[in-house]
């Protein structure tokens, strides 16, 4: 008997009014983007964005509510972009997308900023239950950044993990933490690095007093990377079943998975809106094709961030996901 919990990985598109208002307030150049020191008018606008995101998820009826990460101009590199000892330099490509972020270059000892904790504090005022935090996983954050201080990959990954652990220490109570780890798929760690990536995720997950999901997307993990990730003590691993269902099922069949699972079964990068029945069928398909496993909790989620979508379509997807008939699946 599985419990289905509907949620998203956050990083929502800004409402159209906020696209205009914030570009007027901030400007269009790379120096105009969020650095954690924004003034009152900008802070106020983002407050309204956050409130709208929370209202929208609640009216859709999602089980987990994210802050929405409207301020994350640099996508999941955001926590570094607002940190001291980090220079944000040139505009670089965000994975294989036609999107770009400012390359964060770490030039000194990293220290937590409390930036993400402050966003969660603000959101928590509107959320009685089911608040979900979102952070980049340590491997992806290190992969998106450049190190000019710690010297080698292992030391840098340790420093990034420690930085995330300190950020988590400042969080208010949250129900769930999604650690986004697309780099595990897109730029997989090799021998040795795969084990370190798993240990880093384990360390970060241990710092959270919440259910932790290590969510991967844009494909399936290499077998060996997956095997190592299974050693990390997280509550669930997230799989992108939109991008690749066969290899994901293979990994689960070969190596098992955690008691809980996150299924990316709504496409965050296509405007075609799935029907609730289609979403339910996809969940059932995974359940049917992984006969050796019996999930306690199934997080049904959009596979990727949703800032790729126009606002009307991302909202329609929230509604469709929240409308999934959970009885069918958990029966």
Partner 1 sequence: MTREQFRPENHPNDHFLLTTVVGSYKKPKWLDRARELLEDEDASFDEDDWEEAADDAARLITEEHERSGLDAVVDGEMRRNEMVEYFAHLIEGYEFNGRVKVWGHNYFDKPSVVENVEYGQEWLVDEFEFTDSVAERPVKVPITGPYTLASWSFNEVYDDDEALAYDLADLVNEEIERLVDAGAKYIQIDEPALATTPDDHAIVGNCLDRIVENVPEDVRIGLHVCYGDYSRIYPEMLDYPVDEYDLELCNGNYEQLDVFTEHEFTKDLALGVVDVHVAEVEPVAEIKENIKKGFEIVPPEQLTVSPDCGLKLLPREVAYGKMENMVQAAREVEEELDAGEIDVGLAAPTSD
Q: Which stretch binds partner 1 (CB under 8 A): 2-10, 255-263, 264-272, 278-286?
A: 264-272
Q: How far is the CB of 7 from partner 1 (least distance, A)?
A: 22
Q: How far is the CB of 10 from partner 1 (least distance, A)?
A: 14
Among 3, 30, 124, 148, the residue binding partner 1 under the rule CB under 8 A is 30
Which residue's CB is nearer to partner 1, number 96 or number 128?
96
Among 38, 63, 67, 73, the residue binding partner 1 under the rule CB under 8 A is 73
Listed in sequence order, the residues at least 6 apart from 112 whose beta carbon sits closer than 8 Å to its beta carbon are 83, 163, 166, 167, 169, 170
Number of residues this chain uses to bind partner 1 (CB under 8 A): 33
**34-41: long-range contacts, CB 8 A cutoff, minimum separation 24:** 34/71, 34/72, 34/73, 34/74, 34/78, 34/81, 34/82, 35/81, 35/82, 35/88, 36/81, 36/82, 36/83, 36/113, 36/115
Give yes or no for a contact between 188 and 221, defined as CB atoms under 8 angstroms apart: yes
Q: How far apart are CA 87 and CA 84, in angstroms?
A: 8
Q: How far apart are CA 45 and CA 32, in angstroms?
A: 15
Among 193, 313, 319, 330, the residue binding partner 1 under the rule CB under 8 A is 313
Which residue's CB is nearer to partner 1, number 16 or number 109?
16
Q: How far is the CB of 303 from partner 1 (least distance, A)?
A: 15
Q: How far is the CB of 309 from partner 1 (least distance, A)?
A: 7
Q: How far is the CB of 251 from partner 1 (least distance, A)?
A: 24
Q: How far apart are CA 292 and CA 201, in angstroms?
A: 26
Contacting residues toward partner 1, per CB under 8 A: 13-14, 16, 19, 22-23, 26-30, 32-33, 73, 91, 93-94, 96, 98-101, 269-272, 307-313
């Amino acid at each position: 008997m599985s419990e289905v919990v509907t949620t998203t990985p956050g990083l929502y598109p800004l409402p159209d009014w906020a696209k205009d208002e914030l570009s007027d307030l901030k400007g269009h150049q790379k120096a105009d983007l969020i650095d954690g020191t924004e003034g009152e008018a900008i802070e106020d606008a983002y407050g309204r964005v956050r409130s709208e995101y929370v209202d929208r998820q609640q009216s859709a009826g999602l089980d987990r509510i994210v802050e929405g990460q409207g301020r994350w101009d640099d996508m999941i590199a955001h926590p570094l972009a607002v940190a001291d000892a980090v220079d944000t330099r040139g505009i670089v490509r965000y994975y294989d997308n036609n999107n770009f972020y400012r390359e964060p270059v770490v030039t000194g000892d990293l220290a937590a900023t409390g930036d993400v904790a402050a966003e969660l504090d603000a959101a928590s005022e509107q959320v009685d239950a089911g608040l979900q935090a979102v952070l980049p996983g340590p491997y992806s954050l290190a992969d998106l950044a450049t190190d000019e201080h710690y010297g080698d990959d292992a030391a840098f990954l340790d420093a990034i993990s420690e930085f995330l652990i300190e950020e988590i220490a400042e969080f208010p109570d949250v129900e769930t933490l999604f650690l986004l780890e697309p780099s595990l798929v897109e730029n997989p760690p090799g021998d040795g690095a795969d084990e370190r990536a798993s240990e880093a995720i384990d360390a970060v997950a241990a710092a959270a007093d919440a259910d932790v999901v290590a969510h991967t997307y844009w494909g399936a993990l290499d077998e060996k990377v997956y095997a190592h990730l299974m050693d990390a003590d997280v509550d669930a691993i997230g799989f992108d079943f939109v991008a690749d269902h066969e290899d994901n099922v293979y990994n689960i069949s070969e190596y098992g998975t955690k008691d809980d699972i996150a299924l990316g079964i709504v496409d965050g990068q296509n405007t075609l809106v799935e029907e609730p029945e289609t979403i339910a069928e996809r969940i059932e398909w995974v359940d049917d094709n992984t006969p050796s496993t019996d999930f306690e909790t199934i997080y049904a989620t959009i596979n990727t961030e949703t800032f790729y979508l126009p606002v009307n379509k991302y909202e329609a997807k929230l509604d469709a996901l929240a409308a999934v008939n959970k009885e069918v699946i958990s029966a």
